[in-house]
A and B are shown apart, each in its own frame.
Chain A
Amino acid sequence: MSKPTEKEQLYSRQLYLWDQSGQNKIESSHVCLLNANSVGTEILKNLVLPGLAKYTLVDGKKVTKRDTGNNFYVKTSDIGKSRAKVTSNYLQIHNKFVQGNFLEKESAELIEENIEFFEQFDMIIASRLPEDAVLKLSKKCWEKDIPLVIVRTNGLIGYLRIMKKEHCVIDRKEEEVHEDLRMNAPFEELIEHCNSIKMEELDDDLYGHVPYLVILVKLMEQWKKDHEGKPPKTREEKKKFKDIIYNMRRSDEANFSEAYLNAWKAWNSYMIPDNIDEIFDDKNIEVTKESTPFWLVGAALKDFVANEGKGTLPVVGTIPDMTADTKSFITLQKIYQKKAEKDAICIHEKVKKMLEKFDRNPEEVPLKYVKFYCKNMMQVWFTRYPNIEQEFDPKTSKIKSLESEFANESNNHIFYLVFRAVEAFNKEHGYYPGESNEKVESDYLLLKKEAVKICELYKLNPEIMTDKYLKGFCRFGHSELHNVSAFMGGITAQEVIKLITEQRQPMSNTFIYNGVNATTTTFKI
């Protein structure tokens, strides 16, 4: 009956989305933002509000008149002052629980001079950072396994790229999760329980309240006995099986209708779900001294399937509502729960042994984690984001394989190449195309040159870089429009939150926003 704490009240609306475990992760993250420009500050705002532990803002620029037109966190009276200091001070007001730091230093210089500085962060967001600096920073991030988020905006177009060696999610917050009822692969305790129920001895009331799950398991056991251990396979056999259910009814009992409708669950062969299959097939399943808890449990699961499970995974342990009397439902529920508990302990023991083998603390992976993993088995998931170096290097890049997508005008892949060309232009000339109005025309020709070079580098047909896009970007002149920043700020913060909370499925790996026609495209490079 105690009143919720200040934090609970402040964060109540978002706790419904990512619960306390997600909130705890947000509240223990230190995020670095490079460049306090319009989109950068918008991203940070959307992270300060939900309650980040700490941020460090790096920016060496002074506030200009241009900033006052697109950046919410500067005022006209701030012109000439340090942009890092000014924006950080305003951002800080949003949430007293967040510790804000800033560093008045040009991001690219900092990367050049003191790359070790970045080792302290849980996540780095690079906002409109020149390509060379991004590449250098990405190498450090890759080496230290720090997630890097790269954001660019230019006029009405936005770009977002996530780089993280490996991202594992146990709680994917799927709306629909498959049930794990085991009628097709009943475990001993379940069979025992079903055998103990003598259907023919039950009075009509109880007969009508035997859970359909029990009916099907019983029938299947009987069927297998009569058919050399095989479940019904052909259409005729299946019909026969269903007829048996139909004929067992004494009147029009609901539990038998359920059994009839769900009969397929009993004869379908048991299969390991795709997401687990992927984990089993991955190279990381060969655990080593360095393996993370995610993979240790994965390996234990695989071992379980091969041995104790006889081809099946641990039982998830929850059953849906069904027609039944309270006593038999709860008994059944407990059988599943107990088995799930037993399986989880078995997995935990396996993990402990692995840890011992590697001379690690056997309690490093707590039983709680294993149980959580087993409970969410139907939705555990992982992905890997390729590193930037690999993306840029023509020998390893996948860019060529996307050629038809680049040429397709109905999607937005092409803007990836245009952004690359614009960055190459900046590297070559020291400014961005169209930044000064007088040079829009001549810049276009120079940009075209860079675009052709990019195409040559990746062996693409240079004609895909149509003038329309190149001219468009020259007209944008590397400008920041506030509502594009607001939009990209929202998207980026949302992805960052997914990465930090390790909930839901973050996008992979490149995202383009086209503000001209309000469309978005996500693709892998």
Chain B
Amino acid sequence: MEQNKLLLIGVGGIGSEIIKCLLLSGYTEITCVDLDTIELSNLNRQFLFREADIGKSKSQVICERSKRFNGSAKLVPLHCDIKTKGPSFFSQFSVVITALDNVGARKYANMMCRITKTPMVDTGSAGFNGQVEVFLPGLKCFECTPIQPPKTYPVCTIRRNPEKMVHCVVWAKEEFKKEFCSKTYDSAEDEQSGELLFLKYFDQGIKDLLALKDFWKGKRKPTPLGNSKAFLSEKKEKTEKGQEKNDQPQEMRIFEPQEYATLFLKSVRELAKNRVQLRRPLIFDKDDPLALAFVACVANLRAFIFGITMQSTFEIKGIAGSIIPAVASTNAIVAGIAVKEVTNVLGWLKTKKDESCKSTWVGIPPKRILLQPFRLENSNKKCLVCKLQCITLKVNVHQILVKTLIKEVAKELDFESATLGFGSNCIYDPYDEMEENLEKKCYQFKIEHDSIVELDDTEIDFNVKVIIVHDPQIKEQNFQIIFHGEKPKPTTKEEEEEGEEEEEEEEDSQSKNKPSIVENVGASETIEIIDLIDESETIILNKPNVIKENKNLNLFKQLPSQLERKRNFTNISANGEIGKNNDKIIHIEKDELDEKEIKQNIKKTRKIPKNDKKDQKKTEIISIDFD
């Protein structure tokens, strides 16, 4: 343990727990990377931080604190974005542990780990759920299962026909941006602006929408509020909610629409004043009470107009800021598992046997299984990260010309002609007029030590990543190419097809294992296994007339409603997929089956883990930006 250097990326909730577990498990060399500073809302779980640390660098504070518990440990804090670190940095470590809160940084760490063939242990948590995933070189990586893009909502739903609070919040944030974040303020509008906006948002805007007569066919129509004076003078009907939550803090309470209208007018006035004082456009920050008040009022009034249940400012803050709930206990569980996996991975480094390494899902019992360990899977043949090929190029970046770099590497790798890219920029493309770039030196494009540039064959599908190692000793146009194992070569058509075929075969065999096949048992008895939303169980239904068609699982129409009541059946969609927000929800009918019979026929078996479940957890919970 003492010989192994570890890299811990992210020292927030899980990171704090991990570093504690690592130190007390005997690991002594740990580098901690984090670009964040400490905030008050971290302190309910990030136990190594104190109130006096607020505003300081997380990585620095954590290393200082932890040293006190193991004086001989070598802890290196790095207060920076991990994306500024290249392959030579990653290759110093035996294992990379990620405890990050975003997909982008995870993707980057994953790519670096693939390039440097470093094992990665990835962790995450959301509320009471969490996961630990082990990515060993050669096996499945972070990007082998497609990552769901952050959730976006159709513009039409947001602008015309919101159905849920989240739609109203997205709209309110948009309006905040339009109103306060782009133009500079003309103070002459001051007095009127609140009322004008009120009319625009809640009256005329809604009337304009109502003018689209065809659009509202079959839909519930919104009700415009009129002008603010008229609206405020309306008799206040106390709703049940408002009364009930009165002993709650203000942020948790739900107010009357009229109160939101008053608060709205006040917030517009204050925001306008602020902007005049600041002499710059504002930005939306969920922690700015004024900005939050505006968004909460606009969202709630819009919800009111469209007959959607209003919510407390606290809830709206959670939606607007994409806040993921977090608590110490879940992080402790995840960290405990992760550190055990780190030890397993070190074993793998010696033996290359991956049996003991497992990825684990953490759920909240008793509805879900607390721990669900999985054997590591093979890598996905279509995964671009697993497929990537790279070489190392030793050069002097201050002297070598772009022209030489392209020419020599292309020659070595049998490229026909090549384009050169660095980051998101294209440096050279033979089909573009970019000849002048060829005569420039590499460092002029900020290509430096540990940069990765990309060479693409212009004719065939062949892409190679080139890791630049800067060596000032190397003179002028000299260079040295180092292959990582085999020399990179393009994927041939046959290989590609082969891959696809295998994939299909795999899919076939998978679908055979899927519990949707019908087996014959006895003369007329048929067994049908259906995956349920209740993840921990599979139900076997044993009833001949239940099954009409197999395969496509259209048979749900025939299932007894008792089951629906008993087992939360409501979320099975027509195609048999299970999801929370499926549009096509089929309710199951009771059909000449009495309850006893059904009860007898229900057997529970253990759940078959489903891949697509994992994806859902991997994505960030909600992100609600248009762009």
B580: chain A residues at CB < 8 Å are 175
- Interface residues in B487-511 by Cβ distance below 8 A to A read none
Q: Which listed residue (A3, A482, A504) contacts B364, Cβ 8 A?
A: A504
Are the CB atoms of B332 and A493 closer together than 8 Å? yes
A208: chain B residues at CB < 8 Å are 217-218
Are the CB atoms of B318 and A16 closer together than 8 Å? yes
- CA of A337 to CA of B586, assembled, Å: 27
Chain A residue nearest to B325 (CB atoms) is A16
User: Nearest-CB distance from B219 to chain A (Å)?
Assistant: 7
A325: chain B residues at CB < 8 Å are 220-221
- CA of A4 to CA of B296, assembled, Å: 14
Chain A residue nearest to B222 (CB atoms) is A326
> Which of B36-44, B140-148, B383-391 lies at the binding interface?
B36-44
Are the CB atoms of A14 and B327 closer together than 8 Å? yes
- Interface residues in B321-352 by Cβ distance below 8 A to A read 323-337, 339-340
Are the CB atoms of B21 and A482 closer together than 8 Å? yes
Task: Decide yes or no whether A121 CB sits under 8 A from chain B.
Answer: no
Task: Decide yes or no whether A303 CB sits under 8 A from chain B.
Answer: no
Are the CB atoms of A17 and B128 closer together than 8 Å? yes
Chain B residue nearest to A6 (CB atoms) is B40
- Interface residues in B145-172 by Cβ distance below 8 A to A read 163
Task: Decide yes or no whether B540 CB sits under 8 A from chain A.
Answer: no
Contact pattern, B 411-450, Cβ under 8 Å of A = 1, otherwise 0: 0000000000000000000000000000000000000000
Task: Decide yes or no whether B382 CB sits under 8 A from chain A.
Answer: no
- CA of A287 to CA of B3, assembled, Å: 67
B369: chain A residues at CB < 8 Å are 520
Q: Which listed residue (A45, A50, A70, A489) contacts B327, Cβ 8 A?
A: A50
Are the CB atoms of A14 and B325 closer together than 8 Å? yes
- Interface residues in B7-24 by Cβ distance below 8 A to A read 17, 20-21, 24
Are the CB atoms of B222 and A482 closer together than 8 Å? no
Q: Which listed residue (A2, A17, A69, A268) contacts B325, Cβ 8 A?
A: A17
Are the CB atoms of A326 and B221 closer together than 8 Å? yes
B358: chain A residues at CB < 8 Å are 517-518
User: Nearest-CB distance from A175 to chain B (Å)?
Assistant: 8
- CA of A273 to CA of B240, assembled, Å: 25
Counting chain A residues whose Cβ lies within 8 A of the other chain, the interface size class is 35 or more
Task: Decide yes or no whether B474 CB sits under 8 A from chain A.
Answer: no
Chain A residue nearest to B132 (CB atoms) is A518
Contacts A13-B327, A330-B307; A483 near B44 (Cβ below 8 A): no
Chain A residue nearest to B371 (CB atoms) is A520
Chain B residue nearest to A267 (CB atoms) is B590
Are the CB atoms of B44 and A51 closer together than 8 Å? yes
Q: Which listed residue (A15, A324, A485, A490) contacts B329, Cβ 8 A?
A: A490
Counting chain B residues whose Cβ lies within 8 A of the other chain, the interface size class is 35 or more
- CA of A261 to CA of B561, assembled, Å: 13
Contact pattern, A 508-525, Cβ under 8 Å of B = 1, otherwise 0: 100000010111101000
Q: Which listed residue (B21, B266, B325) contacts A486, Cβ 8 A?
A: B21
Are the CB atoms of B329 and A2 closer together than 8 Å? no
A517: chain B residues at CB < 8 Å are 358, 373
Contacts A326-B223, A483-B25; A10 near B44 (Cβ below 8 A): yes
Chain B residue nearest to A16 (CB atoms) is B325
Q: Which listed residue (A13, A268, A371, A483) contacts B339, Cβ 8 A?
A: A483
Are the CB atoms of B266 and A1 closer together than 8 Å? yes
Are the CB atoms of A371 and B244 closer together than 8 Å? yes
Q: Which listed residue (A12, A265, A519) contacts B373, Cβ 8 A?
A: A519
Task: Decide yes or no whether A253 CB sits under 8 A from chain B.
Answer: yes
Are the CB atoms of B328 and A49 closer together than 8 Å? yes
- CA of A46 to CA of B219, assembled, Å: 48
Chain B residue nearest to A491 (CB atoms) is B333
Are the CB atoms of B565 and A271 closer together than 8 Å? yes
Contacts A1-B290, A9-B40, A70-B24; A45 near B240 (Cβ below 8 A): no
Are the CB atoms of A1 and B21 closer together than 8 Å? no
B360: chain A residues at CB < 8 Å are 518
Task: Decide yes or no whether B251 CB sits under 8 A from chain A.
Answer: yes
Are the CB atoms of B50 and A341 closer together than 8 Å? no
Q: Which listed residue (A6, A17, A486) contacts B20, Cβ 8 A?
A: A486
Are the CB atoms of B45 and A96 closer together than 8 Å? no
Are the CB atoms of A507 and B366 closer together than 8 Å? yes
Contacts A274-B566, A490-B332, A505-B367; A326 near B44 (Cβ below 8 A): no
Task: Decide yes or no whether B406 CB sits under 8 A from chain A.
Answer: no
B55: chain A residues at CB < 8 Å are none
Are the CB atoms of B40 and A75 closer together than 8 Å? no
Q: Which listed residue (B24, B41, B249, B336) contacts A490, Cβ 8 A?
A: B336
User: Nearest-CB distance from A443 to chain B (Å)?
Assistant: 25
Task: Decide yes or no whether A20 CB sits under 8 A from chain B.
Answer: yes
A104: chain B residues at CB < 8 Å are none
Task: Decide yes or no whether B571 CB sits under 8 A from chain A.
Answer: yes
A45: chain B residues at CB < 8 Å are 47, 328
Task: Decide yes or no whether A169 CB sits under 8 A from chain B.
Answer: no
Are the CB atoms of B366 and A505 closer together than 8 Å? yes
Are the CB atoms of A20 and B370 closer together than 8 Å? no
User: Nearest-CB distance from A68 to chain B (Å)?
Assistant: 8
A259: chain B residues at CB < 8 Å are none
Task: Decide yes or no whether A113 CB sits under 8 A from chain B.
Answer: no
Task: Decide yes or no whether B570 CB sits under 8 A from chain A.
Answer: yes
A273: chain B residues at CB < 8 Å are 565
- CA of A379 to CA of B344, assembled, Å: 42
Are the CB atoms of B25 and A481 closer together than 8 Å? yes
Are the CB atoms of B50 and A93 closer together than 8 Å? yes
B289: chain A residues at CB < 8 Å are 1-4
Interface hub of B21, B266, B326, B533 (most chain A Cβ within 10 A) = B21
Task: Decide yes or no whether B597 CB sits under 8 A from chain A.
Answer: no
Chain A residue nearest to B297 (CB atoms) is A1
User: Nearest-CB distance from B499 to chain A (Å)?
Assistant: 32
Are the CB atoms of B17 and A520 closer together than 8 Å? no
Task: Decide yes or no whether A308 CB sits under 8 A from chain B.
Answer: no
User: Nearest-CB distance from B355 to chain A (Å)?
Assistant: 10
Are the CB atoms of A235 and B252 closer together than 8 Å? no
Are the CB atoms of A9 and B370 closer together than 8 Å? no
Contacts A16-B323, A486-B332, A507-B365; A176 near B568 (Cβ below 8 A): yes
Contact pattern, A 1-44, Cβ under 8 Å of B = 1, otherwise 0: 11111101111111111011000000000000000000000100
Task: Decide yes or no whether A262 CB sits under 8 A from chain B.
Answer: yes
- Interface residues in A471-487 by Cβ distance below 8 A to B read 481-487
User: Nearest-CB distance from A180 to chain B (Å)?
Assistant: 11
Chain B residue nearest to A264 (CB atoms) is B589
Task: Decide yes or no whether A193 CB sits under 8 A from chain B.
Answer: no
Contact pattern, A 219-249, Cβ under 8 Å of B = 1, otherwise 0: 0000000000000001100100000000000
- CA of A10 to CA of B270, assembled, Å: 26
Task: Decide yes or no whether A497 CB sits under 8 A from chain B.
Answer: yes
Chain B residue nearest to A518 (CB atoms) is B373
User: Nearest-CB distance from A80 to chain B (Å)?
Assistant: 18
Are the CB atoms of A13 and B45 closer together than 8 Å? yes
Contacts A491-B333, A515-B340; A13 near B366 (Cβ below 8 A): no
B267: chain A residues at CB < 8 Å are 1
Are the CB atoms of A4 and B251 closer together than 8 Å? yes
Q: Which listed residue (B17, B252, B566) contacts A20, Cβ 8 A?
A: B252
Contacts A19-B252, A264-B589; A368 near B244 (Cβ below 8 A): yes
Chain A residue nearest to B270 (CB atoms) is A1
Are the CB atoms of A8 and B220 closer together than 8 Å? no
Are the CB atoms of B590 and A10 closer together than 8 Å? no
Task: Decide yes or no whether A321 CB sits under 8 A from chain B.
Answer: yes
Are the CB atoms of B20 and A76 closer together than 8 Å? no
Contacts A13-B325, A486-B21, A490-B333; A262 near B587 (Cβ below 8 A): yes
Are the CB atoms of B249 and A494 closer together than 8 Å? no
A176: chain B residues at CB < 8 Å are 533, 568, 570-571
A19: chain B residues at CB < 8 Å are 252
Ordered by A's residue number, 23 sampled pairs between the chains whose C-beta atoms are within 8 Å are A4-B289, A6-B40, A10-B44, A12-B323, A45-B47, A49-B45, A72-B20, A205-B217, A235-B591, A264-B590, A329-B220, A330-B307, A337-B240, A482-B21, A483-B24, A483-B335, A483-B339, A488-B336, A490-B336, A494-B330, A507-B365, A517-B358, A519-B371
A-B pairs with lowest CB-CB distance, top 5 = A487-B336, A490-B332, A482-B24, A490-B333, A16-B325
